[in-house]
Amino acid sequence: MKKIAFLLLLSAIIFSCGESKHEINAGDVTNPATASKENVKGNLPVMEFKRSTKYDFGHAEAGEILVNTFYFKNTGKSDLIISDVSTSCGCTVSEYSDKPIRPGEEGSITLTFDTKGRHGHQTKRATVLTNAKPNRVILTITADLDSPER
């Protein structure tokens, strides 16, 4: 009985790890490079951030929820699709649109950092995967967390 319960739990973990809350059809994503490493000529999307891809919250009190939104524009000539935004730890959550961003349109990615139980200098990263070139962008947030007054 224990073996069956263990196998059920193990299979649930394995199959749930591949799930994503954002579904993109494979046909919607254009790979800008072929297997032979030759660039595909064409009208690729371009993800251009309005400010930096880094944000420093400065000093904050440990236990606060810190939120920053990174704004970008698709300056390319085809639809920009964000396929995934993965964060470096469970204390940071990303939010973004799974709808294509048309040329000339703007989009955003919000990172929420729960500082509960954290102290000192903190650096958190989120890897953004898109159909643009380059197809990977790293967003970074930092904060210096002070212990709450008692």
Quickly state the pLDDT bin for 149 (edges 50, 70, 90).
Answer: low
- b (16+ CB within 10 A) / e for 47-64: beeeeebebebeebebeb
Residue whose tokens read 């953004």: 128
pLDDT mean across residues, the chain: 81
CA atoms lying within 13 Å on the CB side of residue 3: 0
In percent, how much of the chain has pLDDT > 70?
A: 71
Q: What is the pTM of this model?
A: 0.72
Tell me the CA distances in angstroms from 9 to 12, 13, 15, 16, 19, one per residue in order. Answer: 5, 6, 10, 11, 16
CATH architecture of the domain 44-150 equals Sandwich (2.60)
Cα 129 from Cα 133, distance rounded (Å):
10
8 Å CB contact between 9 and 62: no
CA 58 to chain centroid, in Å, comes to: 22
Residue-level pLDDT at 17: 40
